Structure 1
Amino acid sequence: MNMLSKFGNLSRRPSDPKVVKSGPKALAPSDMVARKLGWFSIALGMVELIASERIARALGIPGKEGVIRAYGARELSSGILSLSADRQSGLWSRVAGDGLDIGTLLWAFRHDNPKRDNVGLALVLVAGVTLIDLLTAQKVSARHARGRRQPQDFSNRSGFPRGLEAVRGLARKDMSSPASQN
Structure 2
Amino acid sequence: MDSRTEPKQESARALKERLPQPDSIARGLGWYSIALGLAELVAPRMMARVAGVETGPGTMRFYGLRELACGVGILASRDPRPFLWARVGGDALDLGTLALSSNKWSARDRQRAAAAAVNVVCVTALDVYAANCAESAPRLPSADYSDRTGFSSSPEQMRGAALADFETPRDMRTPDALAPYTRGDQSSTTGQRLRAGSATSAA
Q: So what's the TM-score if we normalise by structure 2? A: 0.54
Counterpart in 2 of 1:8?
A: none
Counterpart in 1 of 2:66?
A: 74
Counterpart in 1 of 2:168?
A: none
Deviation at 1:113, TM superposition (A): 4.2
Q: d(CA) in 2 for partners of 1:63 and 1:34? A: 29
Q: Which moved more, 1:125-134 or 1:135-144?
A: 135-144
Matched, 1:51 2:43: yes
Counterpart in 1 of 2:96?
A: 103
Q: Tell me the SS of whatever aligns to 1:86.
A: coil
Contact 1:108-1:116 within 8 A present in 2 as well = no
Deviation >6 Å, runs of 4+: none
CA-to-aligned-CA distance 1:15-68 (integer Å, 9 cap, x gap): xxxxxxxxxxxxx91112111111111111101111101122334434421111
Deviation at 1:111, TM superposition (A): 3.0
Q: What's the RMSD between the two structures over aligned residues?
A: 2.5
Rg: which structure is higher?
A: 2
Counterpart in 2 of 1:89?
A: 82
Query: Identical aligned pairs, as a percentage?
Result: 39
1:144/1:90 CA distance change after superposition, 3 Å: farther
1:67/1:144 CA distance change after superposition, 3 Å: farther
Q: d(CA) in 2 for partners of 1:108 and 1:63? A: 7
Deviation at 1:109, TM superposition (A): 3.9
After TM superposition, list the pairs within 5 Å mapping 1:10-159 onto structure 2.
29-83=21-75, 84-109=77-102, 111-114=104-107, 115-144=109-138
Q: d(CA) in 2 for partners of 1:137 and 1:59? A: 26
Q: Which moved more, 1:104-113 or 1:115-124?
A: 104-113
1:102 alignment partner AA: L
Deviation at 1:106, TM superposition (A): 1.0
1:56 alignment partner AA: A
CA-to-aligned-CA distance 1:49-91 (integer Å, 9 cap, x gap): 1110112233443442111110100000000111121211111
Contact 2:53-2:102 within 8 A present in 1 as well = no
Deviation at 1:107, TM superposition (A): 1.0
Q: d(CA) in 2 for partners of 1:105 and 1:53? A: 15
Q: d(CA) in 2 for partners of 1:86 and 1:109? A: 35
Q: d(CA) in 1 for partners of 2:116 and 2:55? A: 18
Unaligned stretches of 5+ in structure 1? 1-27, 148-158, 160-182
Deviation at 1:142, TM superposition (A): 1.4
Deviation at 1:110, TM superposition (A): 5.3
Q: Tell me the SS of whatever aligns to 1:117.
A: helix
